[in-house]
Every structure is written in structure tokens, then in C-alpha cells.
């Protein structure tokens, strides 16, 4: 069974990840909102869009499943709409190969108009216009965006354009538009001891200044560091594994013969071999370039997308699909036209021919390398705040493995004689990878479960499913179960037996996680398994490690004043792996846990909580130029709260503050050794006790 068109699924995965990887701001569309008086108590709310060259937005009339249609809504007090909104501008219609249909869009300029009248023609009307749209160019699409505009229209019988009002009530300046929001020193002094009385809708707390902590305790701020070399190593290992698959291994003698057949000039042959290896590495590195050059998304959107319930379900489905391919039920291939064009380009000869030969190798090997690369991309996009660099290192490692092997074999073709012959062992490698993909798929489904707060996949259920997968792997390696491309009577080598025994050992390791215990187990899987309190033996509402943290900053402030303790703000997330590792294997340490239980008020603020805020707590962020961003969910609030007050959007992020809202010592971020976290805690707690 062959699905040559199924290549769209991995490409869609690439598209989703591409949207999620940038923290810089790109705003290729500018809007201007005006109200025109038409006479006879009728008005027109006009929103004009101006787009940068090369960018476009879709029409409201775009066919279904071919993009995000623009939606324009007008509402407000004393307003009655007349008909539906209309579009103004030059429409463009093109056939899109990506969508397989016609798309309708506007470029350069577009206008959206909605007629309305005042219900009471003697009173003013507050007009609220909201537009939802998606911006694309010929390479990428930015995430769909919703903006709000506000104006007041006062009937005076004249065509007077009303000046845009101040930001909507309860709105604040966005951290995107300005680094900080400050008050005068007098205002800050007057509110220094009234932090708890602040409106919960206010995101900027005047007393918080993380740049000027009360003490540094002789230490500098500890920031999370990305271990790029780890991803380079993981990519390298992935590349070596991919070499052993049936899609790649047979290519070794075929491609190396290119450099040995008919080449009398040894110097030229060595040069070409080195170029071949370099081009392989270059092609894989180039795959990461889009992640660096695509920008345009607010700082917190990466976290929003990577913890999206639906996106994680998509990852789950794709990884299951990859597993089916590895098991041999179908193949994932790129369109033959791409490979044919690349192969023809090889005939150009010289350096260009060598480059296209390397490109052909990458393309025709996609059936096996696609799932492995997809795993690397999925791991990076959900495990870091600096996705572009991690992907570059991971893909460089993958390409480096191929470059070294193919380059050396091209230099020393006689080494081909020592390589094992192609055979059933390569299918065994693919099937083993299929079991790995099944296990990884569950991780994404678990994250969707946590973010949605359904808590259906308990810790023990997760472990039990992994045990079943590990048992299935062992049974396969011992020849007790077979897949479509296996020999009817497979030869069970010692290598298979040894790996099968290791699989049984992993099952034994997992079983201990099913037994209730006071201390966390399965440290190797920390950050992958659901949290300790998502368990059949505990209630997720009971907190963690016997603690019940507050999930609201303002409630924590009240409690801290009452108990006379500092607040430990824990910016965390349901989908944050490093947060789970800190909780399970740093917080639980006997010299750390008592401090958390007795000496601080713990405020765990979940930045990916998708639960909607009560209507009276929703607020808006002023992006400037009359554009307003809504804060609808609990996660929206705490994510922006973190950015506005601490200029940081990584998790975990820990801050110790006094009950009156002053930062005690330098905040720390990321997973860290117990000693560093203990030093941070003791520094702040001891200072607070001494200066209470």
C-alpha cells in the first residue's frame, strides 16, 4: 500500500512548527479605522488595511478549506447594523497547489465596511470593530490574528471624523509595544503597600522591578541555558540510525560508485567526494533556515501554539502515522516529480551535478528519514524556548552523520567491501523505530490531556501503555510477532536477542512506576510522564508533594500578608517538561521540600491554561496604533503578566517577592541543579526573615 500523496502530512507538520518558532514581531498589515457619516442617521464603520509588499490577506469569500477567511464584526452601544459587511479593493484569484483549489485575496490595500445607524439618533454611540484575519506571503503564513478598534460617534449632523478614543477600559500597554509600563515615583510610593488591592485585570504591578532586587546575595541571575550540543548529538545519532534503514543503506554503493566510475584524476575524485559530503551537510542545515527568517508572532504565541490541544493531537496522529509506515503497512514518499527533476539536474555535471546528487539522496530517502526528522522537530518545538537554534544543531548533527559516512566512503570506496549486505536486518531497524514512534506519540496526547484539564491519561495509565509497547518490541525481537515485510522465518541474531533482553529490562524499570511511593521514581522519564498528582492514587486538585499552591497571584499576595511569608512565583505550564523535572527531582529533595512547604507561599501560575477568564476579569492589551489585543484565558493573563513584569517568557521561571510586591533577589529560570535552586531559595528566604 503506497501513499505518494501523503507527503502533505509531514509538510503540514513542518508548517505548524514554522509558525511556532519565532519570538520576534512581524506586522506586515497596518489598519486605519474611521467612521463616515452617510446622512439620515446612517454611518459607515470603515477599516482600511495597508499591506507590505508581497503580503496579502484572504477575502471573506475564500472557498472552504483554502485559508482563513477575513471576518469583520461591528457592535457597540446604541448601534444597529444595516446589512452585512462588504469588502473594497482589487481581488486576486489564483490556483493554490498547496490547497488544491482557488484562493481569493487582497494585496497592497483592502477595505472593510459595515453600515449602521444609531438606535437613538440623539445620543452618542460607542462603536467596537473587530477583525479576524490571516496574513501570508509567497513563503509563509503568520498565525491568525484578531484585533479590536474603538471609536465613539456623536450625531452632530456634520461629516466629522471622530478621533480614536483612548485604549478600551481596563486595557494596558502591551509588552510588545513597550518594554515596561511605569508610574511616577510618587504614584509608585503611594501604591507600594497596596499591591493586594490592585484590580486583577491589571497586569503591570508598579512595585515589581526585577532589575533592582532587594539583594543579590552575591549571585547573578541564573538563566536557562540551551544545551545545543545535546541536540547536535541527538541529531547525529538519528542520522546514523537513518543510515541503517532500507531507504538509505542501499544508496551507499549506488552513490559512491558515482565517484569511482571512470574517474582517472584522483585529486578531482577526492575533491568531489569532499564536496558531496559538504553538500549533504549543507542541505540539512538549510532546512532550518526558515525557522530563523520567519518572524511576526508575539513573544507568547510560541508557547500558545506548542501547548495547543489540537496541535498536540495533530502531532499524536502524525507520529502514529509514522509508526505505521515504519511497521511496513504503507510508505511515505515525496512526489516522484520532485525526485525526477533532481535526478535530471545531476546530469549538469561539475559542482552543480554533485549538489543535486546530494539533494537526490536526501529526497529519495525521505520515506525513512521523514519520521526521524519529524521526531527531532517535534522534540525541539515542544522542549525549548529557542527552537530555531536547536533545530539548526539537530539538523546539522543529522547531516553531519551522513556527510561523514558518505564522504569517507566516497574517498575510500574499497571500504564498501567491509559493509554488511542489505537484508532483513534493515527492516528490523525500521520496525524498532516504529515502536519508538508509538511511545513518543503518547507524549503529545498526554500534553493535550493536561492542557485541556481532562486528566484522563493518568501517570499509571501512561506507564502501562509504555509497558505494552515495550513488551510488543521484545516479542517482535524474539520473533514471536511479525510485520508485513518480515521474513516468514526470521533469523533471530544475537543482536536482536540482546536488544530484546534490554526491552524486558525496560519493562521491569517501568513497573516500579506503578507502585505508590512517597518519593518520585522513573527519573529517566521525568518531564515525559504526567505530573505526580495526575494519578489514580492522588487527586490533581490535591497539589504536588503535599503542597497546594495558589494559582492566582493576587490570592497569594493576600495569603502572604496574612502569614508573613515571601511569595515564590512559579511560572509553569501543563506542557512544560522542565517544570515537571524540577518538581519531581529538585523540589522533592529533603533539603528543598521543607523550605517550599514552610517558608514561602507558593504561587504556581500556568501560562498555558486554556480556561477562559470570567467576563469581569478579561482585559485588553494596547498594541499601539489603535490596535487592541484581548486577554481571554487564564494562560493569556499569566503569560503576559510574566512578560510585562519580568521581561521573560520561559518556563519554569522562579521569582521571590515580598508581600508588598518587591523582588527580593535575582529570578532564576529553567531546570537547574539542586544546589543552585537551594542557593536561590535560601538567599531570598533568609533575607526576608532578617528584614521582615
Q: Where are the domains of the chain?
A: 26-169, 228-422, 544-690
Please tell me the CATH code under which domain 26-169 is placed.
2.60.40.1250
SS3 124: coil
Mean confidence (pLDDT) of the chain: 74
Rounded Cα distance, 202 and 172, in Å: 7
Report the DSSP pairing between strands 42-51 and 109-118.
antiparallel
Strand ranges of the sheet holding 135-136, from the earlier edge strand across to the other edge: 91-96, 101-107, 56-58, 135-136
Predicted pLDDT of residue 656: 93
81 pLDDT higher than 90:
yes
**pLDDT for res 465:** 95
For residues 588 and 594, what is the distance between their CA atoms, to the nearest angstrom?
Answer: 9
Query: CA-CA distance, 47 to 55, in Å (whole number)?
Result: 18
What would the mean pLDDT of 273-294 be, rounded to a whole number? 79
In 25-153, where do the E strands start and end? 29-39, 42-51, 56-58, 71-77, 79-88, 91-96, 101-107, 109-118, 125-133, 135-136, 145-153
pLDDT band at 114 (very low <50, low <70, confident <90, very high): very high
Peptide bond into 652 cis (omega under 30): yes
**Cα–Cα nearest to 587, from 521, 518, 683, 678:** 678
271/235 Cα distance (integer angstroms): 26
Residue 305 pLDDT: 54
- Distance from C-alpha of 3 to C-alpha of 325, rounded to nearest angstrom: 10
Helix residue spans in 347-490 (DSSP H): 350-364, 366-381, 387-411, 424-451, 459-477
CATH code assigned to 544-690: 3.40.30.10
What is the spatial distance between Cα 467 and Cα 522, in angstroms, rounded to a whole number? 13
C-alpha cell recorded at residue 569: 512565583
Sequence-distant (≥ 6) Cβ neighbours of residue 671 within 8 angstroms: 224, 578, 581, 582, 586, 652
Question: For residue 11, is pLDDT > 60?
Answer: no
Contact between 676 and 222 under an 8 Å Cβ cutoff? The reply is yes
Listing DSSP states for 248-273 in one string gives TTTHHHHHHHHHHTT---HHHHHHHH
pLDDT tens per residue, range 563-585: 999 999 999 887 676 787 888 88
Q: Is residue 4 pLDDT above 80, yes or no?
A: no
pLDDT given for residue 455 in this prediction: 79
* Residue 619 burial (10 A CB sphere; 0-12, 13-18, 19+): buried
Radius of gyration of the chain (CA): 29
DSSP string, 557-616: HHHHHHHT--EEEEEE-TT-HHHHHHHHHTTTSTTTHHHHHHT-EEEEEETT--PBPPGG
Cα 79 to Cα 343: distance, rounded to the nearest angstrom: 64
Residues 665, 691 contacting (CB under 8 angstroms): no
- Which pLDDT value is given to residue 333? 57
Q: pLDDT: is 140 or 591 the higher one? A: 591
Q: Which of 420, 368, 419, 372 is nearest to 397 (CA)?
A: 372
pTM, two decimal places: 0.51
Determine the pLDDT at residue 369. Answer: 67
Q: What mean pLDDT comes out for the span 627-652?
A: 79
**Nearest-angstrom CA–CA distance, 301 and 27:** 14
Q: Count of CB atoms within 10 A of residue 378's CB?
A: 23
H/E element holding 654? strand 653-657
Any idea what DSSP says for residue 491?
-
Other CB atoms within 10 A of residue 161 CB: 11
Q: How far is Cα 366 from Cα 328, in angstroms, rounded to an integer?
A: 15
pLDDT single digits (tens) 227-265: 677 778 888 888 888 777 766 665 666 665 655 554 556
Amino acid at each position: 500500500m503506497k501513499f505518494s500523496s501523503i507527503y502533505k502530512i509531514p509538510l503540514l507538520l513542518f508548517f505548524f512548527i514554522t509558525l511556532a518558532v519565532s519570538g520576534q514581531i512581524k506586522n506586515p498589515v497596518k489598519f486605519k479605522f474611521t467612521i463616515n457619516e452617510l446622512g439620515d442617521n446612517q454611518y459607515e464603520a470603515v477599516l482600511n488595511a495597508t499591506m507590505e509588499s508581497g503580503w496579502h490577506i484572504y477575502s471573506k469569500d475564500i472557498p472552504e478549506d483554502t485559508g482563513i477567511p477575513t471576518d469583520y464584526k461591528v457592535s457597540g452601544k446604541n448601534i444597529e447594523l444595516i446589512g452585512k459587511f462588504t469588502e473594497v479593493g482589487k481581488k486576486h484569484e489564483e490556483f493554490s497547489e498547496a490547497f488544491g483549489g482557488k484562493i481569493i485575496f487582497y494585496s497592497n490595500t483592502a477595505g472593510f465596511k459595515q453600515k449602521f445607524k444609531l438606535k437613538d439618533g440623539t445620543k452618542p454611540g460607542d462603536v467596537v470593530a473587530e477583525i479576524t484575519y490571516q496574513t501570508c506571503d509567497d513563503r509563509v503564513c503568520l498565525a491568525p490574528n484578531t484585533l479590536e478598534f474603538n471609536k465613539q460617534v456623536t450625531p452632530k449632523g456634520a461629516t466629522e471624523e471622530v478621533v480614536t478614543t483612548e485604549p478600551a477600559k481596563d486595557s494596558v500597554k502591551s509588552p510588545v509595544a513597550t518594554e515596561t509600563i511605569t508610574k511616577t515615583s510618587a504614584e509608585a510610593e503611594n501604591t507600594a503597600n497596596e499591591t493586594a488591592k490592585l484590580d486583577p485585570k491589571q497586569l503591570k504591578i508598579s512595585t515589581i522591578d526585577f532589575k533592582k532586587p532587594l539583594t543579590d546575595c552575591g549571585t547573578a541571575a541564573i538563566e536557562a541555558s540551551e544545551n545545543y550540543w545535546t541536540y547536535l548529538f541527538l541529531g547525529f545519532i538519528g542520522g546514523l540510525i537513518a543510515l541503517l534503514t532500507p531507504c538509505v543503506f542501499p544508496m551507499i554503493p549506488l552513490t559512491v560508485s558515482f565517484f569511482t566510475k571512470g574517474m582517472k584524476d584522483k585529486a578531482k575524485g577526492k575533491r568531489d567526494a569532499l564536496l558531496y559530503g559538504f553538500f549533504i551537510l549543507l542541505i540539512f542545515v538549510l532546512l532550518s533556515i526558515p525557522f530563523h527568517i520567519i518572524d511576526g508572532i508575539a513573544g507568547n504565541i510560541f508557547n500558545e501554539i506548542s501547548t495547543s490541544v489540537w496541535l498536540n493531537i495533530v502531532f499524536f496522529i502524525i507520529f502514529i502515522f509514522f509508526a505505521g509506515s515504519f511497521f511496513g503497512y504503507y510508505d511515505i514518499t515525496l512526489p516522484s516529480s520532485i525526485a525526477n527533476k533532481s535526478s535530471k539536474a545531476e546530469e549538469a555535471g561539475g559542482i552543480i551535478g554533485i549538489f543535486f546528487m546530494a539533494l537526490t539522496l536526501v529526497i529519495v530517502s525521505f520515506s525513512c528519514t521523514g519520521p526521524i526528522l519529524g521526531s527531532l522537530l517535534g522534540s525541539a518545538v515542544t522542549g525549548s524556548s529557542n527552537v530555531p537554534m536547536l533545530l539548526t544543531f539537530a539538523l546539522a548533527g543529522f547531516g553531519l552523520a551522513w556527510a561523514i559516512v558518505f564522504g569517507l566512503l566516497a574517498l575510500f570506496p574499497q571500504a564498501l567491501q567491509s559493509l554488511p549486505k542489505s537484508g532483513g536486518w534493515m527492516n528490523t531497524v525500521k520496525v524498532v523505530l516504529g515502536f519508538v514512534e508509538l511511545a513518543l506519540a503518547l507524549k503529545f496526547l498526554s500534553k493535550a490531556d493536561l492542557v485541556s484539564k481532562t486528566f484522563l491519561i493518568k501517570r499509571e495509565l501512561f506507564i502501562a501503555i509504555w509497558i505494552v509497547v515495550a513488551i510488543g518490541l521484545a516479542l517482535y525481537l524474539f520473533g514471536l510477532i511479525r510485520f508485513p515485510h518480515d521474513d516468514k522465518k526470521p533469523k533471530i541474531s544475537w543482536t536482536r536477542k540482546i536488544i530484546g533482553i534490554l526491552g524486558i529490562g525496560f519493562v521491569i524499570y517501568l513497573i516500579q512506576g506503578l507502585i505508590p511511593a512517597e518519593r518520585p521514581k522513573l527519573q529517566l522519564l521525568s518531564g515525559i510522564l504526567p505530573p505526580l498528582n495526575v494519578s489514580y492514587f492522588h487527586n490533581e486538585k490535591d497539589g504536588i508533594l503535599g503542597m497546594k499552591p495558589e494559582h492566582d497571584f493576587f490570592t497569594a499576595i493576600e495569603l502572604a500578608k496574612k502569614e508573613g511569608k515571601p511569595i515564590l512565583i512559579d511560572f509553569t505550564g501543563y506542557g512544560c517538561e522542565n517544570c515537571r523535572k524540577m518538581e519531581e527531582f529538585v523540589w522533592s529533595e529533603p533539603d528543598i521540600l521543607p523550605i517550599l512547604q514552610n517558608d514561602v507561599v507558593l504561587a504556581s501560575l500556568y501560562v498555558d491554561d486554556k480556561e477562559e477568564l470570567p467576563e469581569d476579569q478579561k482585559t485588553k492589551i494596547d498594541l499601539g496604533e489603535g490596535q487592541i489585543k484581548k486577554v481571554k484565558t487564564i494562560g493569556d493573563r499569566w503569560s503576559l503578566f510574566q512578560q510585562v513584569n519580568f521581561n521573560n517568557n520561559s518556563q519554569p521561571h522562579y521569582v521571590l517577592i515580598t508581600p508588598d510586591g518587591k523582588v527580593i533577589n535575582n529570578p532564576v529560570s529553567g531546570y537547574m541543579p539542586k544546589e543552585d535552586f537551594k542557593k536561590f531559595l535560601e538567599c531570598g528566604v533568609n533575607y526576608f526573615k532578617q528584614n521582615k
